[in-house]
Amino acid sequence: MINSNGTLISSFSEIPADLIQKLHSEFSITEKLRYQNGKILFWEQHYFRMIASLRRHRFEIPITYTMEYLQAEIDKLMGAETSTSNSALIHFQFLPYQGTIAFLMSIAQVAALNQTEPSQNYNLDLFKEANVQASNLSNLSTTNKTIFTIGKRYAEENGLDDCVLLNDQKNLVETLHGSLYLFQENIILTPNLESGCQDFTFRTAFNEWLLKGTAGLELVEQPINPFELQKSKELLVLSIESGGQSITQYRKTSYNSIQSQKIYRDFVDQLG
């Protein structure tokens, strides 16, 4: 089931032909959300991130696109998708259409965050063929799509599960699959937004939770040199799709996942 600009349809063939043409030819903005236990996780933060991205790209935003309206459209789609379990990923896509913008929304059934199991072997390396610009423009998920496409192909060709992206100052940014966290002694390091990482809602929520001191470790957001990877005891990749994935191998350095997985599970448990 798809929500096409407020109309529920069962297949792409029911989408207006001129909107299909726009899908092929126009730039679009996307956002992934997670529906769990009868609610959209971090909906307010997601909403403001989507609106900010639309404004940044100079889209004409309809006055009807309020938080309440878009949430009602999500609820409409979830209510019509009877096969969906209590946990799903919601994919939003906005694109120019008839002088304003339109949206497409689809859902995919997934395991709940507290039921996702990390891969037992997860290897990564640095991706050096292209660099992310260290600026707030890179915080937008649309900016570096080509780098991510090439990087994922590079990882596949080299038998890697993931790669860490570097910025033009040769500092860590994030991985191809999510936000990066380095566990060292009593601190957790993560690249700051000025390093060029994406300002994912899930990253923001996790950081805010860590800053409350609940985990007993200090979160430090700063530029991070790649040498810090080998100095870390554990590495964690965080994403709305897969949850918390611990890194087991970076080049010749091996890591365990006891502390990172405990902290991630504590974070997920308090979401309710």
Asked if residue 153 and residue 87 are part of one domain, the reply reads no
106/232 same-domain check: no
Among 110, 137, 159, give the residue marking a domain's end.
Answer: 110
Question: What confidence category does residue 183 fall into, taking pLDDT thresholds of 50, 70 and 90?
Answer: very high
Domain boundary among 66, 85, 110: 110
Residues 86 and 34 in one domain: yes
Q: Render pLDDT for 123-179 as a digit per residue (tens, 0 to 9).
A: 999 999 999 999 999 999 999 999 999 999 999 999 999 999 999 999 999 999 999
Report CA torsion sign: 115, 116, 121, 125: negative
Please indicate, yes or no, whether residues 177 and 81 belong to a single structural domain of this protein: no
Instruction: Please tell me which residue, 8 or 19, carries the higher pLDDT value.
Output: 8
Instruction: Tell whether 115 is covered by a domain.
Output: no
For 239-257, the pLDDT digits (tens) are: 999 999 999 999 999 999 9
The contacts of residue 208 (CB under 8 Å, 6+ apart) are none
Q: Please state whether 203 falls in left (phi above 0), alpha (psi between -120 and 50) or beta.
A: alpha
Number of domains in the chain: 2
Indicate whether 116 belongs to any domain: no
Range of the domain at 145: 123-269
**What CATH number does residue 253 fall under?**
3.20.10.10
Which pTM was predicted?
A: 0.91
